[in-house]
A and B are shown apart, each in its own frame.
Chain A
Amino acid sequence: GAVVSQHPSWVICKSGTSVKIECRSLDFQATTMFWYRQFPKQSLMLMATSNEGSKATYEQGVEKDKFLINHASLTLSTLTVTSAHPEDSSFYICSATMAAGYNSPLHFGNGTRLTVT
């Protein structure tokens, strides 16, 4: 149980275009999902907290107009990288928790490798 599916697993896009990444909880409902990005050989950096039915909460330094997050249902959150540039190339990972409270581990998708040319 507790499977998180992320799609696509990799994407190449041209500079200036937008890319949408989907994160689905397959066998549980997730009121809260988290988006991270990871550069090679570095740790995960939390970008934002995605809350079902409300606006996402972005971490300091993350541009909300560039990284659009939509959490329209209890099983789906999307991250759209708008007007992508080569410096946006990274590994994006989503995660979800079954119960947004005490003692609940995160379940991660397998990540999306974005390359902007």
Chain B
Amino acid sequence: DARVTQTPRHKVTEMGQEVTMRCQPILGHNTVFWYRQTMMQGLELLAYFRNRAPLDDSGMPKDRFSAEMPDATLATLKIQPSEPRDSAVYFCASGGPPQGGGSYNEQFFGPGTRLTVL
């Protein structure tokens, strides 16, 4: 049963600390998305990658957030330094390509990382 995995599932940290969240997309998927979900803002797209290259990171605060794909099986989202307003659930999703049995129309979401910054 292929699924997107995310680690850690929960993270509590203090303001100013670095936070790294990891995502393993479904094998064969070549598009990876990072979302942030809060009660106030709902679901926001932070960044996404295709074939490990960033396509759009306009939703991400550039001064403290960074996203990378060191290889096809790992995507990372880093916050440095973290602030209380970063408290949210961060989701990773993957999708495509059609020739790999996937679909660019459907995104498969991981279970999320719940981040609390004190």
Decide whether A and B assemble into one complex.
no
B residues at A contact (CB < 8 Å): none
